[in-house]
Amino acid sequence: DWFRSEEGRHTLSTVLTWQSPQGSWPKNKNTTTKPYTDKREKLEGTFDNKATTGELRLLAHAFKVTADPTYRDAFLKGYDHILQAQYPNGGWPQHYPPGKGYARHITFNDGSMVRLLDLLRSSQDYDFLDTGRKRKATGAFDRGIACIVKCQVIIDGKPTVWCAQHDEVTFAPAKARAYELPSLSGGESAGIIRFLMTLDKPSPEVIRSVKAGFAWFESSKITGIRFERSNGGRIIPDPSAKPLWARFYDLETGKPFFCDRDGIKKATLDEIGEERRSGYAWYGTWGESVLREYGKWEHR
């Protein structure tokens, strides 16, 4: 078995070197190949960009196979960190402690909060988790779902979708980096709706939320164009192209917008510089899976 092999043990011991004193892991680092050798206090863990949840799932599986308590203890440290990091209103910041920048916002960006909730749900099957932790995780999960519903942006009395991050006090759409303004997100919202559709016994609030989100994706699709990110970030007319959704839709007009590092909203992609034009996912087929999976969800 790989987890007991020399390669497996080496990989897992490497992963352990990257765990921060708080219990999380840094993003954009390959935590499985090269051990971290600097001071541990310098490690900045996060929930962003798939960090922490991936390592925790690996450690849980490793403990299940090997029964090595080192893996269990590291898992529990990270798991407790996630439970501690949740706001009383059910949201999670991008990392914990959150600090004063945009990382303090409730973070849906790149699927961050959805991945945390998914881990809490699947961890109910972990035999080594005590009932106290499982109970805490259930409460955290339920608060998280309620927070998602509260964050859904209501425009003219109608629920739409979500921003990539929301104010941690008011739940309003919030700004992140200079070019990530408050908006309706065609990217993150797809992941949120797909996650809500996996809930076993959705509440009436969740059902309403999914239906409204589906209606928004149906009405916001963009047809007849192709986005070529690698080619300088160009839009090519193409009647046969799959439907696309913009990353950002204006909260007032409902129309797509684009933004450079100066933070000024533009109506077309051509109006921003090439660095941002080709350096960001301005369009995607995100809504395709929402539209495809909704029919099955509605009839189950």
The residues assigned a catalytic role are: 49, 177
Do 113 and 150 contact (CB within 8 A), yes or no?
Answer: no
Secondary structure class of 40 (helix, strand, coil): helix
The answer to whether 178 touches 156, Cβ cutoff 8 Å, is: no
d(CA 298, CA 121): 22
C-alpha count within 13 angstroms, C-beta hemisphere, residue 272:
25
Tokens encoding 78: 């990270």
Residue keyed to tokens 């699709």: 221
Residue written as token pair 């192209």: 241
CA–CA separation, 287 and 181 (whole Å) = 20
Encoded tokens for 288 = 């395709």
Question: Cα(218)–Cα(271) distance, rounded to whole angstroms?
Answer: 27
Return the H-helix or E-strand segment holding 246.
Answer: strand 245-246
